[in-house]
């Protein structure tokens, strides 16, 4: 492969790492907020299930992202792919800074759309893949909400039966153990969905670099391992700003609620991963958490904050698309390989600054895993 292709792949893996970092909240927020798992164990538990997800679900989502959003046969260079990933990374950093649980998946889709539009026109877009992704922006959080409500009510009925024969402490203990399973199941669904986006991007880079047809789309095993490892490492780093938003700011969760929310979201992700539909894990778990909150009382959900989150969801695809379009125009002035190097250096600098701030807050001995005070 060319040097430019390797650099684009490195940037894609950087996005994958930040995807895990940004979306760590999805996998662990409920388990940490209900004190079922310590922060240190929660991220390790989530990272493990993220990594092994490809064994269970294959790579159907990767094909949708790699060849179902834009027509890679019409892309003459790697600039569009690089610009798309830059748009997704930038959007993730912006929303992470403000603690908003937005979709890294939709940021990548928006980046692909924005870069392809300015580079090759609307003819380079695959309408069917975009439509399928767009419709599930609405369906996945709604399905998560409905399943959250149903599973929460079922869990409460089961909890009442247990409480009749035992103490409240033992009832909570049962759901704490169940939440360990549901947290693993959700992380498995997260890895099956989100890591595959990067697999699709890397495979598209290889096809473009080798001048091969889209019919040759096949995710190689080394690509699978690299993408799963990157997202698992990102999850280990953890995006604690968003953990706090999902885990305690939208609604207050108990172990029974955490179990119901994670289980509802996991079922949604298992279903969509099976059919190769790239959905937002963030939207799904947020919908489940809201559904769980409403079973207590409607006012238990902080609707003002929820509204801000929804606005961020709506802006994700156009926001990332605009950034990627600007990045593509910048690459008319400087080589794509230089742009990739600048992005990698910028992420290293950002990572160094973030690490220093975490050490200042949490202490050097627990810099990565301790949530902020």
Q: What is the pLDDT of residues 218-241, one digit of tens each?
A: 888 899 889 888 887 877 776 555
Write the secondary structure of 284-340 as one string of H (helix), E (strand) and C (coil).
Answer: HHHHHHHHHHHHHCHHHCCHHHHHHHHHHHHHHHHHHHHHHHHHHHHCCCCCHHHHH
- Reference 190, options 53, 21, 61, 309; nearest CA is 53
In Å, what is the CA distance from 326 to each residue of 116, 151, 330, 349, 356? 12, 44, 6, 22, 31
Q: How many helices (H) and strands (E) does the chain have?
A: 13, 0
- Binned at pLDDT 50, 70 and 90, residue 325 comes out as very high
Average pLDDT (151-159) is: 82
- Tally Cβ neighbours within 10 Å of residue 360: 10
Q: For the residues 249-257, what does the mean pLDDT come to?
A: 63
Residues across the chain: 373
- What's the rounded Cα separation, in Å, for the pair 235 and 47? 6
Lookup: tokens for 233: 């490492």
Helix (H) or strand (E) holding 250: none
Q: What percent of the chain has pLDDT over 70?
A: 77
CA–CA separation, 371 and 361 (whole Å): 9
Q: Check: CB of residue 118 under 8 Å from CB of residue 327.
A: no
- CA–CA dist 24, 30 (Å, integer): 11
pLDDT tens profile 167-177: 656 676 777 78
């Amino acid at each position: 492969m060319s040097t430019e292709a390797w650099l684009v792949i490195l940037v894609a893996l950087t996005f994958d790492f930040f995807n895990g970092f940004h979306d760590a909240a999805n996998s662990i927020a409920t388990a940490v907020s209900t004190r079922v798992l310590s922060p240190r164990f929660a991220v390790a538990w989530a990272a493990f299930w993220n990594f092994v997800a490809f064994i269970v679900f294959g790579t159907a989502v990767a094909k949708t992202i790699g060849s179902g959003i834009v027509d890679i046969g019409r892309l003459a260079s790697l600039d569009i792919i690089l610009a798309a990933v830059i748009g997704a990374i930038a959007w993730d950093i912006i929303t992470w800074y403000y603690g908003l649980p937005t979709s890294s998946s939709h940021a990548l889709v928006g980046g692909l759309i924005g870069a392809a539009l300015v580079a090759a026109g609307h003819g380079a877009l695959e309408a069917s893949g975009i439509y399928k992704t767009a419709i599930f922006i609405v369906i996945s959080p709604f399905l998560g909400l409905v399943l959250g409500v149903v599973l929460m009510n079922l869990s409460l009925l089961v909890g009442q039966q247990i409480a009749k024969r035992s103490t409240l402490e033992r009832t909570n203990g049962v759901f704490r153990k169940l939440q360990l399973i549901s947290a693993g199941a959700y992380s498995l669904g997260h890895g099956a969905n989100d890591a595959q986006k990067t697999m699709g991007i890397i495979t598209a880079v290889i096809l473009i670099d080798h001048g091969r047809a889209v019919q040759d789309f096949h995710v190689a095993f080394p690509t699978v391992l690299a993408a799963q490892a990157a997202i698992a490492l990102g999850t280990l780093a953890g995006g604690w700003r968003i953990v706090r938003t999902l885990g305690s700011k939208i609604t207050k969760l108990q172990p029974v609620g955490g179990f119901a929310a994670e289980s509802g979201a996991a079922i949604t992700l298992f279903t969509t991963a099976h059919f190769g539909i790239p959905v937002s894990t963030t939207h799904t778990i947020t919908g489940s958490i809201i559904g769980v909150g409403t079973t207590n009382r409607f006012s238990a959900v902080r609707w003002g904050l929820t509204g801000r989150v929804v606005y961020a969801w709506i802006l994700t695809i156009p926001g990332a698309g605009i950034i990627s379009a600007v990045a593509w125009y910048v690459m008319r002035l400087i080589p794509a390989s230089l742009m990739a190097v600048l992005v990698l250096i910028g992420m290293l600098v950002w990572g160094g600054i973030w690490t220093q701030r975490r050490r200042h807050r949490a202490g050097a001995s627990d810099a990565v895993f301790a949530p902020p005070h």
